[in-house]
Structure 1
Amino acid sequence: MNQLKLEYIDLMLIHWPSGYEEGSEPFPKRPDSDKMRYSDEDYLTTWKVLENFVKDGKIRSIGVSNFNHKQIERIIANCAVLPAVLQVELHPYFQQKKLRSFCKEKGIVVTAYR
């Protein structure tokens, strides 16, 4: 926070429900193929760390990006802080009506990218 010269962050998003394994390359690949090596880290672990920052006043709101409704339901069922925002690909050709309806029902704001 000191490097950012901020007292708090308004909104912090978990960009993707899974991450890549740590390594010397930015996008590590499996040794036997061109497929990515994903981390075993559970996004709930990350979410719970962010909840602590909310409790400490360092982050005001937390949300997710590129999550589906089952992943969001898992957060709701296992965590104390409800996602404030879901950021997803959304446009006239990809309207995601069921996901938007789910978020509206849960009080989660949907923001779009194309």
Structure 2
Amino acid sequence: LNQLKLEYIDLMLIHWPSGYEEGSEPFPKRPDSDKMRYSDEDYLTTWKVLENFVKDGKIRSIGVSNFNHKQIERIIANCAVLPAVLQVELHPYFQQKKLRSFCKEKGIVVTAYR
């Protein structure tokens, strides 16, 4: 925050429910195939760290990107701070009506990309 000359971050999103394993290349692959190596880190662990930043006033709101309703329900069931925002692919050809309805019911703002 000091380097950004900020007192807080307004909104922080977890971009994907899974991450890539750390390595020397940006998208590490398994040695025996062309498949990606994913991290074992659970997104709930990441969420709980972000909750601490909210508690400390370093982040005002937290949300998710590219999560489905089951993953969001898991956050709601296991964490103290509800997601403020869900960012997903959303356009006239991919309206995600069920997901938008779920978010509206839970008070989660949906923001679109594409």
Q: Give the structure 2 partner of residue 14 of structure 1.
A: 14
Structure 1 unaligned spans of 5+: none
CA distance in 2, matches of 1:72, 1:5: 32
TM-score w.r.t. the length of structure 2 is 0.99
Structure 1 distance, partners of 2:4, 2:49, is: 19
> Aligned-pair distance for 1:32?
0.9
Question: What is the alpha-carbon distance in structure 2 between the residues aligned to residue 40 and residue 53 of structure 1?
Answer: 22
> How many pairs were matched up?
114
How far off is 1:11 after superposition? 0.1
TM-score, L = length of structure 1: 0.99
SS in 2 for 1:81: coil
Residues of 1 paired with 2:22 and 2:60: CA distance? 28
Counterparts of 1:75-114 in structure 2 under 5 Å? 75-114=75-114
Identity %: 99
- Deviation (angstroms), 1:40: 0.3
SS at match of 2:62: strand
Q: How much does 1:102 deviate?
A: 0.1
Structural RMSD (CA): 0.3
Task: Measure the CA separation in 2 of the matches of 1:4 and 1:45.
Answer: 25
- Post-superposition CA distance 1:32-83 (Å, at most 9, x none): 1111000000000000000000000000000000000000000000000000
**Separation (CA, whole Å) in 2 of partners of 1:30 and 1:61:** 35
